[in-house]
Amino acid sequence: MIRINSPGRLLAAALLAAAGHAHATDALMAPPHCPPIAVPATPTPLQGTAQLRLLLQEDGSIGQVQLERSSGSAVLDAAARAMALACRFQPYRTGGKAAKVWLALPVSMATPAPVPVLVNGSAGVRAVTLDIRHCRRPDYPPAAQAQGAQGTTYLGLLIGTDGVVLEARLERSSGYPQLDEAARAALGACRFAPAWQDGAPVQQWARSSYAWQLAP
């Protein structure tokens, strides 16, 4: 099961293909390599599990994603589908040849509760919305690309009242300083929806991540 507890953070990955959960035609495969799940912040917390079926292509990519059972939220369902389409598997082989096959994949998700912001002694009610899909994609540093560097950079971003990033700090390294700096520069130049307090925008820290993956 793929499970997330905060936007953009992939905590665990494992396939479920067992009696009562998978079709007879579903194949049991090794855990996939998937990007972080991008779930936008919501005014109220959401959680649920979307049951997906994936059509694995001969090259290990995903050709189709079907929603078998909704998580109960269109926002979570869309995030699960988008993530699944970007997953990569080892090709399924039968008789020594790669073949297409259907896989069962449940994805459990939960958005965090809005983080309180203290302004003149009162608590905030809406957290920063971090949606990096509209941001400029960080350029892969040529040297890091040449050495096959991959990983995930985790950042803390201070979002100003106008949505501009006032500060971007590294919270967990991908293991490659060049990748970390490229991600920090790109996300630090992005603009987001700010947090709000009593009808007015306020500054707030938020966390985001960027997964560096080389094309197969």
pTM value?
A: 0.45
Per-residue model confidence (pLDDT) at position 212: 93
**Domain range 2-110, CATH architecture:** 2-Layer Sandwich (3.30)
Q: Where are the domains of the chain?
A: 2-110, 118-212
Torsion of CA 25, 67, 108, 169, to 10 degrees: 120
Which amino acid appears at position 26 of this protein? D
Q: List the pLDDT tens digit at each of the 216 positions of the chain.
A: 444 433 333 222 333 332 223 333 444 555 567 777 777 666 567 788 999 999 999 998 999 999 999 988 888 888 889 888 888 888 888 888 999 999 888 888 877 655 554 444 444 456 777 778 888 889 999 999 999 999 999 998 999 888 899 999 998 999 999 999 999 999 999 988 888 877 788 888 888 889 998 876
Per-residue model confidence (pLDDT) at position 114: 53
CATH of 118-212 given 3.30.70.20, 3.40.1390.10, 3.40.50.150, 3.30.2420.10: 3.30.2420.10
Torsion of CA 151, 152, 153, 157, to 10 degrees: 170
Q: Do domains 2-110 and 118-212 have the same CATH topology?
A: yes
Q: Which of 151, 152, 212, 153 is nearest to 184 (CA)?
A: 153
Per-residue model confidence (pLDDT) at position 44: 62
